[in-house]
Each structure stands twice: as structure tokens, then as C-alpha cells.
Amino acid sequence: MRNFLADDIVNIKPSGIRKFFDIVSEMKDAISLGVGEPDFDTPWHIRDEGIYSLEKGRTFYTSNSGLKELKQEICNYMKRSQNVEYNPDTDVLVTVGGSEAIDIGFRAMINPGDEVLIPQPSYVSYEPCAILAGAKPVIINLKAENEFRLTSEELLNAITEKTKILVLPFPNNPTGSIMEKDDLEKIAKIIIEKDIFVMSDEIYAELTYKDKHVSITSIPGMKERTLLINGFSKAYAMTGWRLGYACGPSEIIKQMTKIHQYAIMCAPTTSQYAAIEALKNGDADILEMKTAYNQRRRYLMSAFKKMGLECFEPFGAFYVFPCIREFGMTSEEFATKFLTEEKVATVPGTAFGDSGEGFLRISYAYSLETLKIAMERLEKFVSRLRA
């Protein structure tokens, strides 16, 4: 029989996280700190709105780009949180999670050979999605000494005349790193000067523990050259609803809407109705969850300090990224050994790019009780390794 597989797809590596998943699922009593989603249930008033929409028989397709009321609420949110104005009719596309927006955003902009700058460690989809869109991914290895922020030197060094898009993944998964206003201003200058475009994945925008998140779209001159990606998964604990969105210049949104129209039709209708309720009345829920995350974040930082484990203080998302270089093991070796000996699952930093080597992603989307048990085991493990 002929080979029916597409070479491009076969050549793409499956996500490095999979392997750990398989080991953990075999272990009955393992504690996992490996999850990239909130531990909270979706707030009841949001779920109730989804249920209500089903009761009302709102079970049809919506328009391709999403419910008008939802797009309006997304624009209201961008206005009140970042003072950035979008036109709900032309500048917004409701997608199946932020993930779809990443995929079709690349596809709408990439011509073969265009270079996409991807700072790493970062979320696992940027590189494969860029490759699938025909781009040449160019990795920028972020450094622990810069708290994994993107510096203007790093950016400048990576730009060539083929550079088209910079992916900006902040607040960052897996490092928890954020970019503050002055960090953004420095790179915005270069972006404008070099005439490149930004895909800013701000899915963790609501989860910052220092000042309020600053979107790069709010930096003068940047809204015109940024595709903003956000969604409901992290802020409202709505991962399973699969709902995200992209805001950007109408020419790009128009092309993305075309792909979305042919590949997806429209994002799930029930989720869209629930999301309207989230944006209208969900601020208090965000605050409550964020307060809990921040307490756990402080707890982990204090636990690391006690056991002498090096870790910069992250101010975003719900991850900490401690350094395990002192033990002379790779991240994968460390995570595997920790899992088999102490039954705690973490994710090796290398799952998010080579520059994650020497680090471990620990999620604090867990109850304090779980984190405490896990930290006791980590302390035991670490002292054993040092002995």
C-alpha cells in the first residue's frame, strides 16, 4: 500500500508532555502538579447561562465570527481593561479556544519561508502551528537571568529581513514571567522600526500578581500591528468550553474568518452564550480565583526558599519555574526520578523548548493541601539528592 501520510505532519514532534502523561496515568496515588488549567469549576452563574441557552433551544450555528453581543462584550472588555478600541463588526473573531486563533492567525499571514520569532520556553503550539503554516520558526531562547522576559537585544539579534511575525507569549506558560510596560515599550520601538507584526497571546492577562497586565496593543503604534489572542479558559476557568478570540486589524481578521468559516463554521454556541455572562458579570470570580492563586504562589516561593531551590519570582499565570541545575540532571531525568521516587508529577522545562533545560514547570492550580504534600515530598527528594 502507498504511504498515505503527509510528510509535513509526520515530521512534527508530538508534544513532549505526552510521555509524562502516560507514566502518571499508570500511577494510582501520584500527585500531579502538571496541569495547565485552573482547578476551579467554571463559576455557577456562567454555567447556568450555558444551561439556560440550551433550555431556550439556542442550539444553532452562530454567525461565523461569533455572536454579535459576545463580540461587543469582548470590545468592552478591551476598552475597560486596556483602553484599546476595537470594532466588534470587523476586528474580532470568536474562536475555538486561543489555540485555534494561534493556528489560523499564522495561516492568514504566513507565506512560505517567512520567519516567525518564537521566544521559548513557551506554550507548545506556536512552533508546530508556524511550521504547518509554512513558516520558518526562529527560536529566541529566553534567559533565567532576565526572568525569562524578552529583551530588545535578544529581539534585535533574531530579526532578519525575512522576519514577519513575533510571537509574544506573556504572561508566560511555563515560566510565569510577565512583560511590564517598560519592557514592552522597548521592544515595541524595534518592532515598529523593523516593520514586523506581533501575535500576542495574552490568555493569562487576568492572572498577574504585580501591577495590572499591560497589553502590547495599548502601546502607541502597536494595535495596528498586533493580533491579540485571548480567551475564557484561564480567567474564568472555562477550559472545556473551548472558547477564545482574536482581535486585530480588520484585514487580518477578515482572512482568519475565512479559514475559520471553512474549517470550523463557528465556535460552540452554548459556550458563546456562557461567555457573554462571563464578560458581563465575572469580574468578582476572577478576583477570587486570582487571590487564591497568589496565595499559593507565595506559598511555593516560600517553600523553595526554605529548601534552597533557586527560582525567580514569577508574577503571572499559575506556574513557577524553579531551577534544578545544581543536581546535575536534565529536566527530564529530574522530573522522571521525582515522579517515580516521590510520586509527584511535574513537567520538565524542555517540554516548552530547549531553553527550558535545567528547569521544572510546577503548576499551582491546586489546593494548598495538595501543594503542601507535594512540597514536603520535594524537600525530601532534594535533600536526598544533595546528601
Phi, psi of 146 (to 5 degrees): -100, 20
> Min. distance of Cβ 223 from other proteins in angstroms?
29
> Min. distance of Cβ 171 from other proteins in angstroms?
15
Please say whether the beta carbons of 219 and 185 come within 8 A: yes
Across the strands, what pairs with 168?
Answer: 200
Nearer to other proteins, 35 or 259 (CB): 35
> Min. distance of Cβ 139 from other proteins in angstroms?
17
Pick from 228, 255, 263: nearest CA to 244 = 228
Please say whether the beta carbons of 223 and 250 come within 8 A: no
> Interface with other proteins includes 316 (CB under 8 A)?
no
Stretch that binds other proteins, among 6-14, 176-184, 256-264, 343-351 (CB under 8 A): 343-351
DSSP secondary structure code for residue 219 in this structure: S
> Interface with other proteins includes 302 (CB under 8 A)?
yes
> Interface with other proteins includes 203 (CB under 8 A)?
no
3-state secondary structure of 80: helix
Residues 19-58, mask of contacts with other proteins (x by CB under 8 A): -xx--xx----x-x-xxxx-x-------------------
DSSP secondary structure code for residue 306 in this structure: H
Nearer to other proteins, 91 or 285 (CB): 285
Please say whether the beta carbons of 122 and 353 come within 8 A: yes
Euclidean distance between CA atoms 378 and 323, whole angstroms? 13
Cell 499591560, residue?
Answer: 214
Q: Which of 298, 380, 384, 386 binds other proteins (CB under 8 A)?
A: 298
Q: Is 97 left (phi over 0), alpha (psi -120 to 50) or beta?
A: left
Residues 139, 323, 357, 157, CA torsion sign: positive
Stretch that binds other proteins, among 57-65, 215-223, 262-270, 289-297 (CB under 8 A): 289-297
> Interface with other proteins includes 208 (CB under 8 A)?
no
> Interface with other proteins includes 282 (CB under 8 A)?
no
The CB density around residue 82, as the number of other CB atoms within 10 Å, is: 19
> Interface with other proteins includes 295 (CB under 8 A)?
yes
Q: Which of 168, 196, 347, 378 binds other proteins (CB under 8 A)?
A: 347
H or E stretch covering 103: helix 97-109
* Span 93-132, contacts to other proteins by CB under 8 A: 123-125
> Interface with other proteins includes 299 (CB under 8 A)?
yes
> Interface with other proteins includes 173 (CB under 8 A)?
yes
173's grid cell: 506558560
> Min. distance of Cβ 110 from other proteins in angstroms?
22
Number of residues lying near other proteins (CB under 8 A): 28
Q: Which of 67, 253, 351, 375 binds other proteins (CB under 8 A)?
A: 351
Pick from 216, 220, 193: nearest CA to 205 = 216
Phi, psi of 153 (to 5 degrees): -65, -45
Cell 468592552, residue?
Answer: 76
* Span 364-383, contacts to other proteins by CB under 8 A: 367-368
Nearer to other proteins, 163 or 173 (CB): 173
The CB density around residue 264, as the number of other CB atoms within 10 Å, is: 14
Nearer to other proteins, 215 or 346 (CB): 346
Euclidean distance between CA atoms 200 and 228, whole angstroms? 5
> Interface with other proteins includes 160 (CB under 8 A)?
no
> Interface with other proteins includes 311 (CB under 8 A)?
no
Binding interface with other proteins (CB under 8 A): 15, 17, 20-21, 24-25, 30, 32, 34-37, 39, 123-125, 173, 291, 295-296, 298-299, 302, 345, 347, 351, 367-368
